[in-house]
A and B are shown apart, each in its own frame.
Chain A
């Protein structure tokens, strides 16, 4: 791969996508952009509520609440003489008495009425001269870490557990002297004077414009307090990852456009290598993603750490889209696959980060790093590596797989998806040793999938989650060891003999065993502290002699891989059955290990 050629292709890609648009379309694009940009300030000033006029309140003009009901957008004032039934009225007000029917909508309407009155009160109080009496309570809210809870089922860590994770235990004080911004949403609040220096560490923290939702310090009246959004990671996931959906739409279009009418053929013929072409074409979109990420990160008060944490996710989005673009047969198919990718990767990003209390699980997601960055909590290099390395490696492997089928036979044909996938897996297998190499390269995927499984199954009770997880882990690892072997046999890379099957199985098993030591990085964040983390990643490490420690997994991996490979060399059905057998053997091994040491 040569940098000069890659950059030239990147430049062509940028110019082509910008320059190929004809004048009419450009004018249309600019017009629409101006229209959308012009809308934003209008919408911000008028702030339309989707819930306008939902609840019908029967009120007489003489009631003290009448003015409030007229003002509030959610409430519709109707004739009080109408019957109090679902078709005509939801709540009736007579004087200051509120009649609420026993329906869900009625109660919701009563709640909305109460909120409207409280908001009205606050607005009236801002007109008062004596502000100390009008707003007699001023509050500064900060967030401080508490001691970690006693997690059930954990003994002491048997081997040297990793450094204490920065997310909770370091006791770094996040609150600063109350210069936090007011919570958003309440109009016309006076900003109370900041609480006189409550002696916390550090200087003033710049207030995040999104008020208290992201859990930063707030100062103001009680009404202005915005409780933090509990699923902060979900919010961050939407913020950062939604723009990626747009980018991968454009990138996916570009990838598949090369395949229509053999348009990509001239580049294939040129001296540029396949890697040059693919990386060159991906570069402008990747840089665009980083630029968007930077803007968003600065907008919410993050820094370099946030950008560095989100960049690998961007790379994985693009890598997955690239493979999707190489496999899809039409734009429609690409859209479906792209949506699957977005949903899955977004899920991977935010689900683990939900478990903020159980820090090792949360450390799986790069978004936890962003959360830490926003709260100015220190992040250890181990944590950073743990969150970003699997994602980065997975992206790299996906790009390699895609580059493998970046050739005429696969690009310009309409082969069905599974066939192309098998092509992609078989393409790099130029010799038997390559089988072992690629098993090792699949480890990041194995890690990513297993982490996802841990995070998803964590919520189940331990008695159920551990066996299920062991089964899932066994299946994932067996597939990773054997699927490319099957592909190789299927595409006649290797002779279909039992002996070849056994040899390939052994090589694959050894490759897996060696690369598995990568899993030691889970130690960096204390994942083995959790019972479920132990089960997934280090059942062997628990107090066994070094010889057994080395030999047992090696024997396991080679045996099970050999079983699958022998099945693979016969036929697809045989492969599936052999895979099942191998997974069961692996599961039995895992269970035996866990039982012995429990």
Chain B
């Protein structure tokens, strides 16, 4: 192990990224669902203006917030500046019955997101109430939404963003490394030496490609295992790994083909990155895109289209691999 420092470095990088990932998850989840960072923190909201009665009533209906009424806007703002309250809602009822609300939240603060989420919920509830009161002026009645469930805010994010990301990143990297490996043999001229060995060129490609294709599902399996241990249930893990393996095969084939065709690492990498990006983008237009496939399989809601898509991708991977073997066997590489 000591002499193989590259592997050690690779493992350390993954550990580093894993350590970071919990940090990243919190950050990225907050982007996805900003209210998720709530705890037992209670937001104090200063209320003022001639709509303050309505505002106060609505604020008090929420568990994570409290209202403090101030007689004037300036009083409320100075209380805010002195950190006595966390936010200000100054509401004025207009002649048309519409309430104009001036909201103030702290700038650049970690709490800001929590506070703004509470402000948003308060005002949404107020909007719903007012719509009820003004129902006589409306042609259609809005539907009554069911009560807010005590849902885990990380849930959707984990399955739609995190799991696909962890599943696909090894696939992209495998393709990149396969391209690197072959391009370097060609640039250094060491392919000649390899061909002198009792191996045919397809067998050389086999060796490189199979190593890369098998590593990616192994990494993905490790990630899925970590997630399971962490309490995130992954349904249909074998199908997910089959999907990852197929995708890796396709990407490795593309990477290898580019390296063989171009023969220079820099251009091959550039073209590979762009092509992988483009194909990934194009795949999002499918009825069930690869991230969606992973999400549906992992969360346990696969449809028949899901299984068909996974099968199609597997076939594509096999066909692609066979094609590149034939290409390498029949075309001379200089």
Contact = CB atoms under 8 A, between A and B. Distances in A.
A29 interface: yes
A111 B151 contact: yes
A573 interface: no
A556 to B, nearest CB: 33
Interface in B229-283: 261-262, 264-267, 269-271, 273-275, 277-278, 281-282
Interface stretch (A153-161, A325-333, A470-478, A588-596): A325-333
A54 B116 contact: no
A167 B113 contact: no
B332 interface: no
A87 B155 CA distance: 18
B21 to A, nearest CB: 11
Which label, helix, strand, loop or mixed, suits the secondary structure of the B interface? helix
B291 A132 contact: no
Contact of A167 (B108, B270, B278): B108
Contact of B139 (A90, A121, A128): A128
Contacts of B28: 234
B282 A39 contact: yes
A215 to B, nearest CB: 7
A133 interface: yes
Given A55-B301, A231-B27, A120 B143 contact: yes
A331 B176 CA distance: 11
B9 interface: yes
Given A105-B299, A108-B152, A141-B116, A257 B271 contact: no
B62 to A, nearest CB: 14
Interface in B116-172: 116-117, 119-120, 123-124, 126-127, 130-131, 134, 137-140, 142-152, 155-156, 159-161, 164
A343 B18 CA distance: 11
Nearest to B24: A234
What class of interface size applies to chain B in its complex with A?
35 or more
B181 interface: yes
A51 B31 contact: no
Interface stretch (A142-150, A436-444, A527-535, A576-584): A142-150
Contacts of B119: 141, 225
A575 interface: no
A213 interface: yes
Contacts of A145: 81, 106-108
Interface string A34-46: 0110011011001
Given A36-B274, A51-B295, A343-B16, 14 more contacts: A29-B270, A124-B142, A125-B131, A137-B99, A144-B105, A168-B107, A222-B120, A222-B126, A227-B120, A257-B265, A331-B265, A332-B180, A333-B6, A343-B17
13 contacts: A50-B292, A107-B152, A127-B140, A132-B94, A141-B103, A141-B119, A143-B104, A145-B107, A146-B109, A175-B104, A228-B113, A229-B27, A331-B265
What are the nearest 3 A-B pairs in CB distance?
A: A222-B123, A136-B130, A231-B27
Interface of A: 17, 20-21, 24-25, 28-29, 32-33, 35-36, 39-40, 42-43, 46, 48-56, 64-65, 68, 74, 76, 86-87, 90, 96, 98, 100, 104-105, 107-108, 110-114, 117-118, 120-121, 124-125, 127-130, 132-147, 149, 167-168, 174-175, 195-196, 198, 213, 215, 221-223, 225, 227-231, 234-235, 246, 249-250, 253-254, 257, 260-261, 330-333, 335-337, 339-340, 343-344, 347, 351, 354, 356-357, 371, 375, 416-417
Interface of B: 5-6, 9-10, 12-13, 16-17, 20, 23-24, 26-28, 30-31, 34-35, 37, 77, 80-83, 94, 96-110, 112-113, 116-117, 119-120, 123-124, 126-127, 130-131, 134, 137-140, 142-152, 155-156, 159-161, 164, 176-177, 180-181, 183-184, 187-189, 261-262, 264-267, 269-271, 273-275, 277-278, 281-282, 284-285, 288-289, 291-292, 295-296, 299-301, 303
